[in-house]
């Protein structure tokens, strides 16, 4: 026996508890933990899963119903479109032949009960009815339907448009109509929707689901319950599930009944399918299962507690005997009677009591080393977790399996730790592509590269986007190898975006009204300035002594007409869009897509107005500079493609009203240090010249803009059209002031003169023209990449400044050649 002295026993030991109480409480705790875990598992996992199954059943029914309706209405739309094309091409059919054709179609069609063909004034001139209803034809003859919204919409959109549900004059039943434009006439087909309740009942899965069909105005059209006769005009637009309409389940009240349901949009007539189910029926199975689980768990807990009590009493009695022996050994009494026990461990304890004093010292020595290792390991773990507040921390092995999942990760991803451990992220939140990228990051981190912070976009379990700022690095693993740590912070700002959207929605109408009023006032001021300039031009032209100044004023008036015209057109377009939006708000038909489109259109219109009004303001304020031929006073470095695109956008609204096509192909590597204002004036004049003169009395035309680098420090910009061309007798005089072939028809003869002066003056370039009658015209503008300073000589490439009409036509196909200008401006 060793002579080492055992450790001292404290004089005042800590408070202790009876072994029987400890064992009984521990056994009870062990028995209660599985019961509690099973209950939580049901509540937190299986109950949401059963709810999801019920909601998925509703969504599947809604999708099936929506697909049936979309197919039904799309077939009807194709049939009526075919008939409309027939009437478009068969112009020689008389009234009797048209009605015979419509009657035959009404008899054979599975969709349409009545067909109407109106004249250009919207009055019904021909009807197609089934044989049993043809006695009603006289009542419909001459009926004016031009003011109906679906007829107006069909002609405005130039395509088929569905009406809202209404009571048919022919069948006296609820119906919906489709309008197809036939030139200036309209072909209208009425579709009875009386069979829709039966379709809803067939899809309601033996009446376990309630299916309701709502029209564009959210009025009830059909009900699977079969009680739609008294509720077909009931408006359900106030229901939250209808207002959302995004396919997400929503709880709501209807007719005093608590329901859960989902709504889906139906393409074509813009209807909605509402599938609902009473909450008690949808989730009733959950309560039944919970009652049964509670009963089984209660019985199991009672039995476990009884067994735990008996076992604790027997074991505590044996331990009490050993405790008495240990107390005797502590007092120096070693001759104790043996304790007989059928438990093997207690028998070994009896054999080891004699060696306990010496063994306890050795064990304490070994325990100190083990405790130190344990404390080191715990310190590393606690340092990782405790130093990352509000940060999701995960550990992974080389295969991407989760080794650690802290509480912040549970909150962020809504995944419990026990569900995440041992799994890869593609089994939890990642898709296959994200998982492959994550494994590649782990391979880079294994080489000692710390990745991040980088932005990671995920799809949360609730379906919402989740943006994370993530860092990945490696740490040593116990026993060798590497583990990988991922630290993530949620940086989503969804609430901020939603708040900004609401504020934008509230202030949109007020801002549009204020901008429209300001733009109207600016247009009036510009029109007044234009009138004054035109009056000054007229006086200067009449005076021979002030001919030069008259040319200057006429040039400014000519330049002002383009931004003013564009501004007036943009303001009227914005006014039309505002009226359409106000009408949608008044009628309650405002949708998010309409609002987003209105915001985009308004922004584009305001940009056009600001650009053109700013240009007009610059022209007026720089009148003195214009008088000394400094029309492009603003010099800066710019990209050629940006200036050309701005000109194309500015002229876009006016060109849309013509059958002519404008195409540009500009090298995006061309940068100039020059005067973009003067270059823009040249392009606008040449394009307007082609539209007004080259394509006169034509129903088609093509204008092409091309730009490319030539000699070092120079580029060439061509404007080509396939118009009527310039005759040989007029070609030498096209740059003369006041020369025009449209004398007395609005031409001033200054457009090409201004173009030539700008090109050879402030821009320091040259202007060439190639034209042939009936082939077209090409203007070639050669410009230095760096415009010369005032009064500085320009080193221009050797080239011919003008070519007569005997020159060959512009190269390329006929559609790419043409006349950019007649001699008039």
Q: Could you state, in chain order, the average pLDDT of each consecutive group of 10 residues for the chain (825 residues)? A: 48 61 73 80 77 78 80 83 83 81 80 85 84 78 84 87 81 82 88 71 67 80 63 69 74 78 81 80 75 81 77 73 72 63 68 63 67 74 64 86 84 84 86 87 85 78 78 83 85 68 77 80 79 58 40 54 82 86 84 85 88 76 41 76 85 78 91 88 87 82 92 93 87 78 63 85 91 90 88 46 38 36 34
Q: What number of other Cβ atoms are within 10 A of residue 270's Cβ?
A: 15
Distance CA 225, CA 212 (A): 9
Backbone angles phi, psi at 578, to 5 degrees: -65, -40
Instruction: Specify the CATH number of the domain 196-286.
Output: 3.30.450.20
User: Can you give the residue ranges of every domain in the chain?
Assistant: 71-192, 196-286, 388-492, 496-627, 636-816
Tokens standing for 620? 């007026």
Q: How far apart are CA 499 and CA 491, in angstroms?
A: 17
Tell me which of 3.30.565.10, 3.40.50.10800, 3.30.70.20, 3.40.50.300 is the CATH number of domain 636-816: 3.30.565.10
Q: What are phi and psi of 396, to 5 degrees?
A: -135, 155
**What residues form DSSP beta bridges with 451?**
472
pLDDT at res. 784: 94
Instruction: Supply the angle between the helices 751-760 and 547-587 in degrees, to the nearest 10.
Output: 110
Name residue 186's beta-bridge partners.
181
Partner residues linked to 702 by β-bridges: 661
Indicate if 388-492 has the same CATH topology as 71-192: yes
Residue 262 has what pLDDT?
83
The answer to whether residues 595 and 578 touch, using CB atoms and an 8 Å cutoff, is no
> What global pTM score does this model have?
0.36
Q: Is the C-alpha dihedral spanning 158, 162, 166, 172 positive or negative?
A: positive
Which residues are bridge partners to 693 per DSSP?
A: none
CATH class of 71-192: alpha beta
Under DSSP, the state recorded for 776 is E
What is d(CA 326, CA 15) in angstroms, rounded to the nearest whole number? 19
Cα dist. 77→69, 264, 586 in Å? 12, 21, 29
Strands (E), 157-197: 161-162, 166-167, 174-182, 185-192
Second-level CATH architecture of 388-492: 2-Layer Sandwich (3.30)
Residue 475 bridge partners (DSSP): 483
8 A C-beta contact, residue 271 and residue 255: no
Specify whether the CB–CB gap between 273 and 62 falls below 8 A. yes
Two tokens at 534?
Answer: 């035109």
Q: What pLDDT sits at residue 483? A: 87
Kindly compute the dihedral angle of the four CA atoms of residues 801, 804, 808, 812, in this order, to the nearest 10 degrees: 50
Structure letter (DSSP) for residue 234:
-
């Amino acid at each position: 026996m060793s002579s080492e002295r055992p450790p001292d026993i404290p004089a005042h030991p800590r408070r202790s508890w009876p072994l029987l109480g400890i064992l009984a409480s521990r056994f009870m705790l062990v028995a209660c933990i599985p019961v509690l875990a099973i209950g939580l598992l049901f509540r937190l996992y299986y109950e949401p899963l059963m709810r999801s199954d019920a909601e998925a059943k509703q969504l599947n029914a809604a999708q099936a119903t929506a697909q049936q309706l979309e197919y039904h209405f799309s077939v009807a739309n194709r049939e009526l479109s075919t008939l409309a094309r027939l009437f478009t091409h068969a112009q020689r059919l008389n009234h009797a032949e048209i009605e015979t054709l419509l009657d035959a179609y009404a008899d054979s069609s599975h969709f349409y009960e009545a067909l109407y063909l109106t004249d250009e004034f919207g009055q019904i001139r021909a009807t197609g009815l089934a044989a049993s209803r043809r006695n009603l034809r006289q009542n419909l003859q001459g009926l004016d339907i031009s003011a109906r919204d679906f007829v107006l919409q069909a002609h405005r959109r130039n395509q088929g448009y569905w009406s809202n549900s209404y009571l048919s004059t022919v069948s006296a039943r609820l119906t919906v109509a489709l309008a197809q434009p036939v030139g200036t006439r309209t072909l209208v087909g009425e579709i009875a929707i009386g069979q829709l309740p039966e379709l809803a009942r067939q899809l309601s899965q033996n009446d376990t689901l309630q299916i309701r069909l709502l029209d564009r105005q959210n009025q009830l059209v059909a009900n699977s319950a079969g009680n739609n006769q008294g509720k077909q005009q009931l408006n359900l637009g106030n229901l939250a599930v209808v207002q959302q309409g995004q396919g997400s389940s929503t709880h709501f009240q209807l007719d005093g009944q608590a329901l859960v349901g989902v709504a889906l949009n139906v393409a074509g007539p813009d209807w909605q399918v509402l599938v609902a189910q009473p909450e008690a029926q949808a989730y009733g199975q959950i309560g039944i299962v919970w009652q049964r689980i509670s009963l089984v768990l209660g019985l199991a807990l009672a039995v476990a507690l009884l067994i735990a009590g008996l076992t604790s009493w027997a074991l505590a009695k044996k331990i009490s005997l050993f405790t008495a022996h240990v107390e005797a050994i502590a007092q120096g009494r070693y001759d104790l009677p043996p304790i007989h026990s059928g438990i093997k461990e207690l028998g070994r304890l009896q054999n080891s009591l004699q060696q306990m004093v010496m063994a306890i010292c050795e064990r304490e020595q070994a325990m100190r080393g083990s405790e130190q290792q344990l404390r080191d390991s715990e310190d590393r773990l606690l340092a990782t977790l405790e130093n990352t507040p509000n940060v999701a921390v995960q550990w992974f092995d080389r295969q991407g399996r989760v080794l650690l999942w802290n509480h912040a990760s549970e909150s962020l991803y809504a995944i419990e730790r026990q569900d995440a451990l041992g799994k890869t992220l593609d089994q939890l939140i990642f898709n296959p592509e994200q998982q492959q990228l994550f494994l590649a990051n782990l391979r880079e981190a294994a080489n000692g590269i710390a990745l991040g912070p980088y932005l990671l976009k995920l799809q949360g379990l609730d379906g919402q986007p989740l943006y994370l700022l993530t860092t990945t690095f490696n740490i040593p693993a116990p026993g060798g190898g590497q583990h990988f740590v991922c630290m993530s912070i949620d940086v989503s700002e969804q609430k901020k975006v939603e708040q900004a959207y609401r504020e934008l929605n509230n202030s949109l109408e007020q801002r549009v009204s204020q901008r429209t009023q300001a733009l109207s006032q600016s247009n009036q001021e510009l029109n007044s300035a234009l009138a004054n300039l035109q009056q000054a031009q007229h006086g200067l032209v009449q005076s021979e002594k002030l001919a030069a100044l008259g040319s200057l004023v006429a040039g400014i008036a000519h330049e002002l007409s383009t931004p003013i015209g564009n501004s007036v057109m943009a303001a009227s377009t914005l006014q039309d869009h505002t009226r359409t939006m106000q009408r949608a708000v008044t009628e309650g038909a405002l949708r998010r897509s309409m609002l987003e489109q209105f915001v985009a259109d308004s922004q584009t219109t305001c940009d056009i107005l600001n650009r053109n009004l700013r240009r007009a303001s610059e022209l007026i304020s720089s009148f003195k500079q214009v008088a000394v031929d400094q029309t492009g006073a603003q010099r800066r470095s710019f990209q050629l493609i940006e200036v050309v695109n701005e000109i194309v956008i500015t002229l876009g609204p006016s060109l849309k009203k013509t059958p002519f096509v404008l195409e540009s192909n500009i090298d995006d590597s061309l940068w100039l240090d020059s005067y973009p204002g003067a270059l823009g004036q040249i392009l606008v004049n040449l394009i307007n010249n082609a539209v007004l003169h080259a394509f006169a009395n034509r129903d088609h035309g093509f204008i092409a803009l091309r730009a490319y680098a030539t000699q070092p420090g120079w580029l060439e910009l061509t404007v080509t059209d396939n118009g009527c061309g310039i005759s040989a007798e007029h070609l030498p005089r096209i740059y003369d002031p006041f020369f025009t072939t449209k004398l007395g028809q609005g031409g001033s003869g200054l457009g090409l003169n201004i173009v030539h002066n700008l090109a050879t003056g402030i821009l320091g370039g040259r202007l060439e023209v190639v034209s042939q009658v009936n082939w077209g015209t090409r203007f070639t503008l050669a410009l230095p990449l760096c415009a010369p300073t005032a009064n500085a000589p320009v080193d221009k490439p050797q080239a011919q400044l003008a070519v007569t009409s005997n020159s060959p036509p512009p190269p390329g196909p006929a559609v790419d050649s043409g006349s950019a200008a007649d001699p008039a401006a």
